[in-house]
Structure 1
Amino acid sequence: MKVFSILYTLRLKFTLTSLLLVFLFSLNSHSQSRATISGTVSDEFGGTLPGAKVSIEGTTIFTSTNADGFYQFDIEEGEYVINVSFIMYNNISKSVEVKVGESATLDFVLSAGFSIDEPISLGSRAQPKSLLKTTVPVDIIFPEEITNSSHLEIGQILHFLVPSFHSTHQTISDGTDHIDPASLRGLGPDQVLVLINGKRRHSSSLLNVNGTVGRGSVGTDFNAIPKAAVDRIEILRDGATSQYGSDAIAGVINIILKQQTEFIDIDGQFGTNTEGDGETRYFGANLGLELGKQGFLNLTAEYRQREPTNRAGNYTGSVYTSDPAVDTQLINQNNFFGQTGFSDQRVMEIGNAGTQNLSFFFNGELPINEKTTFYFHGGRNNRQGNSRGFYRFPKDEDRVVLELNPDGFSPEILTDIRDDAILAGITGIKNGWNLDFSQSLGINTIGFNVESSNNASMGISSPRGFNSGGFRYQQSTTNFDLTKNFDYLKGLNLAFGGELRLENYQIIAGEEASYIDGGSTYIDSNGVEQPRIPGAQVFPGIRPENELSRFRTNAAAYIDVELNPNDNWLLKGAMRYEFYNDFSGQTIWKLASRYSFSDNLSIRSSFSTGFRAPSLHQVYFQNVSNQFIDGDIKEVGTFNSESAIVNDAFELESLKPELSNHFSLGVSGKVNNTFTFSFDLYQINIEDRIVLSARLEDGFETILQPFNVSAAQFLTNAIDSRTRGLDAVINYRDKLGEGEVYASLAANFNNTKVDRINIESGQIGGMDNSAIFNREEVARIESSQPNFKINSLVSYDWNKFIFQLRNTYFGEVTYMHPSDGDSNNWVLNEFNGLIESRDQTFAPKILTDLSLSYKFENWIRFSLGANNIFNVYPDKHKHSANTSQGNFTYSRRVQQFGVQGANYFLRLDLKL
């Protein structure tokens, strides 16, 4: 039996070996019977173009050039037309004929083009069109711009490249320190829709409740998407609710992930500020793998670290006691400023918070057959943030346990953010219809931990660190789309489909010590026993009574029609019905048209309606937080529409959806293949806009007392707003000497006005509407973002050098104090000894970025440069009362571009 087993094993091995040899021989013979087409793709100056798409016309066969600009096809004999395309270059086609066993060399030299000629996917469900052929304005942020940008986060890249986009780092604003509010055309973060590869991206779990841009709104966390994974970005600057969803009031941002499989792309960057802080370290790696003959899997890993910056001023207030002489003595005796952990007489950390990011993303496609493709993408981002709050001084015994912290403390908020997303779908052709079915899942979770703090109400038994709870948002989206082109007149495209969305929002309670009232008291300066403030200082824990989990479903169906009555005229109509299980349904629509006077000149116009239901966060968020208001700490309660204080005490109406309409008119054109332009006017009206109210405190003590808060605020449909503006983009490209010069000038001029404050109910109805939405909140809508922004770029590509000079001109912003509309409320300005208003307008500023890159070989490039090279800062506070006793040199309420100052960087790019 043993011998038989050995013989059988040998026979099996011989058989398998024989089959393998036959297979390899047949494969080798087959490969020898084929032909080869290969070559290189370069620009007019001899530089290779890695990642250029090379395809065979009339087939689904394509490839991309490698790091040396080389491509190759192994094909059957015959005649072929080879097409080559590369973004921002003019496409080229060449014919070639090959016989069996032959090798043909076909090189391509591409001339530089413009973004206006590039095909775009946004704004139309027909075949991709160029910007000259669309009915709406679209910005394209092409790969070279993203790669050459010295900014490391998607939000900051867009902030300095796109005039209509605004997103700056915030400070002393809890979770908003780490998730930047982002807006388009001056509207809210929740009024712009974000897509990844054309599919809806989930929003953050954070509701912005502090005094920042976007207060009361929920946005998408742009910085959870790694820069290294992004190929290009399309920004539709037009109302698109009827096409893509009810939150596309301001427009749509589509982030397109990389597909390349030819090389390993590695980037490393180090930067530091002239102040010696805010160091940044970046590492990104992107690579692609082929799946089968035409499939791919693109993988990205990215690490970002940012040290905190501190632009706080020297503290001028008291520390131990209100008696100045005694206080000075104790400060010196205890070396107070020497042990705070800050330089000079600083007691706060004001500026960019410290963060650490680790991201993994993937993007892929796998053809199933000639007509069907399976696609997928997703990723994970983990972010740890460390920010500070206001210093708790030993004089404030209601919030400081002196036995634990005799010199007070600087509390820290450690924020853990995890963002996960995955999407899979199938696209194909059935009976002439293009089908697309997809399913996605996105989850964003934020957890808050407090360190170097105490719960004063627990006395000496208080811990120093706390888990204060957090938030979780989950979105599951199913999409089904059908499109087909018909040969009617000069072309008809019909599209229709549907979307089903399931959302879940959770508020997660903190540990008991983070919110409990331990009952500890202290004796004040008058000898009276007083209670201490409960909860962890800087971020009191979320209480169990505020913990919740709420679900919502949204169903939508749409139809989209495009008709070309003749070669020059395009008509477009779209209609969408959205239904929410908690806010009923609404039909919205859009009409648009474009007329081409020639191949290089067209006009366009559109009118659309919109509808946006409140987010789950806006409906259900509830919490109590510590907020410093004019130097005093207050427990501010944010209450939802289910709470007793809103329903019974204030008798406010429940939230209802926003309604909007959008009109635009524009022109775009190209001159002599060296100059392009586009100009677009727009107006956006929003009725019953959802905002967070002002803090209600004075005069409401009786109502607030049972809820243990000193002020209350809530989400409400408080205002109607009107936004008008102009977008302009001018580009120039031409040869200059032995190189090429590219210049662009882009601008956005924007004006938003609050048309009406419409509060009519309960306790609020009998008051002046300014109580619920005061002048500070009005200014936050109207003037907390720059009223204009102008971006200019001059780039010169010569031999192995790339020189770039970029300027960004930020318009003015204005802060208005809630009480200073009445001159009787003005206070002493210690800077000049006058009684003045605390209102301030911050003047326009220009920031200049400069960089120089040198390509040693095709696979290695070194860059150095500076952002804000002239070290420009916003205007300083002009009224002493706005500085919070010297702490705030610059405003934290309105921001044009942050307070980082000049930043210098070194970058190394490798393509292996």
Structure 2
Amino acid sequence: MKRHPLTFGLLIALASVPAFAQSPDETQEQEAQGDSLETVVVTGTRTSTRTVASSPSPIDVITPAALEATGTTELATALSRALPSLNFPRPAITDGTDAVRPAQLRGLAPDQVLVLVNGKRRHTTALINLNGSQGRGSSPVDLNAIPISAIQRVEVLRDGASAQYGSDAIAGVVNIVLKGSDSGGSIALTGGQYSAGDGRTAQLSGDVGIKLGENGALHLAAEARDQDQTDRARPYVLAPGVTVRPSTAPPPGVVVQRYGDPEVRQYAFSANADLQINDALSFYGFANASRRDALSNGFFRTALDTRNIQAIYPDGFLPQIRNIAEDRAFVVGLRGMTVLEWDVDLSYNYGRNDLSFGVENSLNRSLGPTSPTQFDAGALQITQHVLNLDVTRGFNVDWLASALNVAWGLEWRGEGFQQGAGELSSYVNGGVLLPGGTPAPSGSQVFPGFRPDDAGDFDRESFAAYLDLEANVTDKFNLGLAVRSEEYSDFGSTTSGKVSARYDFSDAVALRGTVSTGFRAPSLQQQFFRSTATNFIGGVPFDIRTFRVNDPAAVALGAEPLKAEESKNLSLGLVLKPVDNLYVTIDAYRIDIDDRIMLSENLTSTAVRNFLNATVDPALGGGRYFTNAIDTSTKGVDIIATYRWLLGNGSLDLTAGYNYNKTTVERIAPNPAALTAIDPTAVRIGRVEVGRLTVGAPRDKFQFGGLYTLGNWKFGANATRYGEFSVLFGNNPADTSRDQTFDPQWTLDLSGSYSLGNWDFTLGADNVLDEYPDEVLFANSTNGQLPYSASSPNGFNGAYLYGRIGYKW
């Protein structure tokens, strides 16, 4: 990787100072007592005494008990059930997205949320979502790679924070704080399945604290999960008015398709260490490693389908994708106080995600009867190296009501993206024709392998500097200022700023607000990912290429170098504590994003195909690329209320939450002159993609839950209402016949647990009433085989029953 000249100056600075970082375990005792309002938070602030109740920005603190109470073994699913503003659908038949599902905060893109672990930037997944799921075109962080048993708490900052943390923090920040105690531990066995009889899940998890010498701690956690697939597919049904069954249709009454969650085998490990070297200096480090083996499904090819070879599959075949996701990350650092009384934190952060694509139970039609049935289709890899220097100190200022907290820092980040080619048979066209003499599709079916000219190794680096000031101007008025400047080797520089303020009228009423600018740098995947896949147009296969933005053919079709997305965030909130034990927050927000990075439509017109066939590849049938072609505005409100009600010898903790957000498209850039010259009628951003942004996720979400504790018993209940969403089909605005709006859906989760000494026994049911979303229109159901939308926010698996046995010491 080439080094920016500023890099060497940063390395010298890093080598010359000790460092300081807040211990992730400082508030464990408070959290164990359930007093989350007084939990000291480390997200969105660089002061060491900021609590949830006194924060100038909306922050949610999710404890391990709250995560476990959701019944799920996945972190992202648990967060979506605990946070009204988080959307985590369960798409199916979407290639690698089945295995690495994206989450959305406040209706924005999955990669517009920054994820931290112990306050340090987490790397993204290597996957880029290219199919028709929420988050199309994004490469988010894989939250499910972190075991829940390792987590002390999760802090979710629902506010723009690019001026504090840099790229990606447009919608907010998710900070996962790891357990760090030097004693105690737990082990738990969880099992469950859906009421339909599938999706059986078994998980063994545990954690343990170990004392290191006299002043050190090491906390270890691990989990192993085995999850069977779910299937809600149905038999093929003739379309209304059709009486003759096509020869290529599956046998009547037989379910040949599979539609649901993939089969998953996952192992994950986490370690968090802290060691006091002397009175002024400590060493810290933490690491996480995981391996996920996920098997998902494509579309069934019947026996007489032209894509099948009956000599290999006499009854047809269901091609499958096996994704192996391997995640590695570690952070090491020093913290301490200098002789000038500055608290300093010096750290190195490494992250890597590898995602391989294997194709099973398939064939390459163009190779004829000699085709293999399993393929290595290639792999993707993302790496991240980060050096951080963070310095803080409080200064006494006579006219301020508190110390002025001054924080500044430097960051160097190096990123790499690799795309590796698959084996020859996974992408080659062997020349065997379909019946009638038409060309056969190239490569392995369901997922053609990456070609040698798709492969590549790309990198970039960035350098950042920030300044952060915060103080109580008076006893009632808190003010914070932050500015951050970043320079990237691939697209230039950007500067972000933030002003936050809070005024406490009394102990019962406070007003808070923020104004900030932000950005998200284009990912290396968006700039350099390339693939060629087969699409059928009018029954004829064409190879559609996802071009790199700097490819000469893409430039000829109007592609331009990607630039950073830029945002303006406004937030105004009211904090109410009208009576003892009642806490209410109401936060309205507006997020304007210019130059959003989108994946264009498939450009497949005759004019485009003729151009590509003449200048690039005679077999190409179209192309697409990433572009900064759209501006959006998102307006919304978050309302959160918590109340603790003491009932005799017991207590009832109630929580209610509501999120409403609406995204509108403010601008779609006109087609570039180059594209217009080739095809004046081309559509780069169509109504389907606009619909995915504006109505594809629920407009609102409401949750109400309670936990009743009496002696050794705990009973939990949580009701969730997912608002309506819509799916649009086709880019002809005159034809909306296949568009569909799905009604709101209610779900109810129940659980009960009993403690006997150190043992805990839990039984529960998620979606206990076995509610399903609306079924899709027949025209969108693949002849009735796929009855539910993959955008359904709670999935379409029905009720899930589970049990857990745990032991703590």
TM tier, smaller: over 0.9
- 2:743 corresponds to which residue? 843
The answer to whether residue 31 in structure 2 is matched with residue 87 in structure 1 is: yes
CA separation in 1, counterparts of 2:272 and 2:481?
32
SS at match of 1:457: helix
Counterpart code for 1:446: L
Per-residue CA deviations over 1:438-469 (Å, capped at 9, x if unaligned) read 00110000001111111111112211110000
- 2:794 corresponds to which residue? 897
- Residues 394 and 704 of structure 1: CA distance in aligned 2, closer, same or farther (over 3 Å): farther
Q: Aligned ranges for residues 712-861 of structure 1 at < 5 Å?
A: 712-765=623-676, 771-823=683-735, 837-857=737-757, 859-861=758-760
How far is the alpha carbon of 1:626 from its aligned partner? Answer: 4.1
Per-residue CA deviations over 1:387-442 (Å, capped at 9, x if unaligned) read 11011223332x22232223321111111110000110011011211000000110
- Residues 560 and 216 of structure 1: CA distance in aligned 2, closer, same or farther (over 3 Å): same
How far is the alpha carbon of 1:652 from its aligned partner? Answer: 2.5
CA separation in 1, counterparts of 2:267 and 2:202?
12
1:697 to 604, 618, 642: 604
- 1:494 corresponds to which residue? 406
CA separation in 2, counterparts of 1:369 and 1:180?
44
Counterpart code for 2:759: I
1:563 to 471, 482, 486: 471
Moved more, 430-439 or 121-130: 121-130
Length-normalised TM-score, structure 1: 0.82
Q: Aligned ranges for residues 549-628 of structure 1 at < 5 Å?
A: 549-626=457-534
The answer to whether residue 275 in structure 2 is matched with residue 369 in structure 1 is: no
1:327 to 234, 247, 253: 247
Q: Give the conservation status (yes or no) of the 8 Å contact 1:271–1:904.
A: yes
The answer to whether residue 576 in structure 2 is matched with residue 669 in structure 1 is: yes
CA separation in 2, counterparts of 1:541 and 1:359?
28
Q: Give the conservation status (yes or no) of the 8 Å contact 2:412–2:464.
A: yes
- Residues 582 and 276 of structure 1: CA distance in aligned 2, closer, same or farther (over 3 Å): same
Q: Aligned ranges for residues 340-359 of structure 1 at < 5 Å?
A: 344-359=253-268
CA separation in 2, counterparts of 1:555 and 1:247?
15
Counterpart code for 1:586: T
CA separation in 2, counterparts of 1:255 and 1:403?
52
- 1:882 corresponds to which residue? 780
- Residues 632 and 256 of structure 1: CA distance in aligned 2, closer, same or farther (over 3 Å): farther
Per-residue CA deviations over 1:787-838 (Å, capped at 9, x if unaligned) read 0111111111011110001011100110111245214xx6xxxxxxxxxx10
Q: Give the conservation status (yes or no) of the 8 Å contact 1:564–1:571.
A: yes
CA separation in 1, counterparts of 2:262 and 2:723?
25
- 2:114 corresponds to which residue? 193
- Residues 660 and 765 of structure 1: CA distance in aligned 2, closer, same or farther (over 3 Å): farther
2:84 to 163, 174, 179: 163
CA separation in 2, counterparts of 1:570 and 1:710?
59
Residue segments in structure 1 that go unaligned for 5+ positions in a row: 1-59, 66-82, 90-111, 338-343, 827-836
- Residues 463 and 664 of structure 1: CA distance in aligned 2, closer, same or farther (over 3 Å): same
- 1:505 corresponds to which residue? 417
- Residues 710 and 347 of structure 1: CA distance in aligned 2, closer, same or farther (over 3 Å): farther
Counterpart code for 1:887: Q
CA separation in 2, counterparts of 1:662 and 1:769?
36
Which protein has greater RCO, CA pairs closer than 8 Å, 6+ apart? 2
CA separation in 1, counterparts of 2:434 and 2:170?
53
The answer to whether residue 379 in structure 2 is matched with residue 470 in structure 1 is: yes
How many residues are paired up? 777
Moved more, 513-522 or 629-638: 629-638
Q: Give the conservation status (yes or no) of the 8 Å contact 1:764–1:772.
A: no
Per-residue CA deviations over 1:838-897 (Å, capped at 9, x if unaligned) read 01000101110000101122x10100010000111110013x2111122210112x2221
Q: Give the conservation status (yes or no) of the 8 Å contact 2:603–2:682.
A: no
1:459 to 355, 368, 371: 368
1:418 to 314, 326, 329: 326
- 2:204 corresponds to which residue? 283
Residue segments in structure 2 that go unaligned for 5+ positions in a row: 1-20
- Residues 323 and 743 of structure 1: CA distance in aligned 2, closer, same or farther (over 3 Å): closer
SS at match of 1:514: helix
- 1:298 corresponds to which residue? 219
- Residues 911 and 474 of structure 1: CA distance in aligned 2, closer, same or farther (over 3 Å): same
CA separation in 2, counterparts of 1:413 and 1:326?
28
CA separation in 1, counterparts of 2:347 and 2:649?
49
- 2:66 corresponds to which residue? 145
Q: Give the conservation status (yes or no) of the 8 Å contact 1:759–1:765.
A: no
Length-normalised TM-score, structure 2: 0.93
Q: Give the conservation status (yes or no) of the 8 Å contact 2:559–2:625.
A: no
How far is the alpha carbon of 1:313 from its aligned partner? Answer: 2.0
CA separation in 2, counterparts of 1:358 and 1:316?
40
CA separation in 1, counterparts of 2:717 and 2:264?
29
Give percent identity, aligned residues only. 36
How far is the alpha carbon of 1:216 from its aligned partner? Answer: 0.6
How far is the alpha carbon of 1:543 from its aligned partner? Answer: 0.1
CA separation in 2, counterparts of 1:425 and 1:63?
14
SS at match of 1:447: strand
Aligned-CA RMSD value: 2.3
Q: Give the conservation status (yes or no) of the 8 Å contact 2:441–2:541.
A: no
Per-residue CA deviations over 1:704-743 (Å, capped at 9, x if unaligned) read 4353333322111110000000000011102112210111
Q: Give the conservation status (yes or no) of the 8 Å contact 1:630–1:881.
A: no
- 1:483 corresponds to which residue? 392
**Structure whose CA Rg is larger:** 1
Counterpart code for 2:717: L
- Residues 632 and 195 of structure 1: CA distance in aligned 2, closer, same or farther (over 3 Å): farther
How far is the alpha carbon of 1:519 from its aligned partner? Answer: 1.1
Counterpart code for 2:577: K
1:180 to 96, 101, 106: 101
- 2:355 corresponds to which residue? 446
Counterpart code for 1:592: S
